[in-house]
């Protein structure tokens, strides 16, 4: 066991740099070509401006899992551990804030979407951090490797509801259970009902982890 990591620890900084590089690259790919440059290109690729926002929510959630796994190796679990995880998540949003401000130009007339997306992404990242913490503690207690389990679970939540929501026989609201699907709705000005569904899912996921967290904390202090 070791002390809780600060947002400037080596492990945390590595995750933040990766988040910044991924989001920065996605933002560059999302910016349309300039008119003069496009005139010189016979066949130009026009990427979707939402590519950046989808990369942002996906890799912020991935960073949340990474931080949750790291937290399982800190000192005895306490409720304060969740506060430390929240600080890591919020600091990550601060790191990519300049990119988010620039990305507002890609969504003219949708200024509120950026604020909603930051709040939603922070919630998703924290939820996956708590889930990552619980699964890693479960695996450590049983001496089982949970690396692939955690990232497979994250991939399933990101992709499966979104993909199913694209099918005509499935209610489109199902896609709101995926951070990718919810992000698409948010940047396209989601209705209040859609926002309620999008935010409710990670909240319920997070609250569902609290009984397990309580047991982990009690067990840690009983040792």
* More confident position, 70 or 39: 70
Q: pLDDT grade, residue 34 (50/70/90)?
A: low
Q: Which residues pair with 74 in a beta bridge?
A: 2
The 10s digit of each residue's pLDDT in 165-218 is 888 777 888 999 999 999 999 988 889 999 999 999 999 999 999 998 888 878
CA distances from 100 to 93, 175, 210 (A): 9, 23, 31
Average pLDDT, the chain: 83
Q: What is the pLDDT of residue 2?
A: 60
What pTM does this model have?
0.86
Q: What is the pLDDT of residue 157?
A: 92
Q: What is the pLDDT of residue 127?
A: 95
Q: What is the pLDDT of residue 43?
A: 46
The 10s digit of each residue's pLDDT in 101-154 is 888 877 776 668 889 999 999 999 999 999 998 888 888 777 777 778 888 889
CA distances from 93 to 57, 86, 99, 115 (A): 10, 11, 10, 11
Distance CA 147, CA 183 (A): 26
- Residues with Cβ < 8 Å from 119, sequence gap 6 or more? 199
Q: What is the pLDDT of residue 222?
A: 59
Quick check: 91 pLDDT over 50? yes
pLDDT > 90 in the chain, percent: 33
Q: Which of 36-40, 42-46, 79-83, 195-199 has the highest mean pLDDT?
A: 195-199
């Amino acid at each position: 066991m070791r002390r809780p990591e600060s947002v400037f620890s080596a492990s945390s900084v590595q995750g933040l740099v990766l988040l910044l590089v991924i989001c920065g690259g996605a933002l560059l790919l999302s910016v349309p070509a300039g008119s003069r440059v496009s005139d010189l290109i016979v066949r130009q690729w026009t990427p979707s401006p939402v590519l950046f926002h989808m990369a942002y929510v996906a890799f912020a959630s991935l960073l949340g899992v990474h931080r949750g796994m790291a937290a399982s190796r800190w000192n005895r679990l306490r409720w304060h551990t969740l506060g430390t995880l929240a600080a890591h998540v919020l600091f990550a949003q601060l790191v990519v804030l300049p990119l988010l401000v620039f990305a507002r130009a890609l969504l003219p007339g949708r200024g509120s979407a950026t604020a909603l997306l930051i709040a939603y992404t922070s919630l998703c990242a924290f939820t996956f951090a708590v889930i990552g913490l619980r699964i890693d503690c479960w695996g450590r207690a049983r001496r089982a490797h949970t690396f692939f389990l955690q990232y497979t679970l994250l991939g399933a939540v990101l992709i499966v509801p979104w993909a199913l929501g694209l099918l005509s026989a499935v209610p489109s609201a199902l896609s709101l259970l995926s951070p990718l699907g919810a992000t698409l709705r948010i940047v396209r000005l989601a209705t209040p009902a859609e926002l309620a569904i999008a935010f409710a899912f990670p909240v319920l996921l997070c609250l569902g982890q609290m009984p397990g967290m309580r047991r982990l904390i009690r067990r840690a202090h009983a040792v």
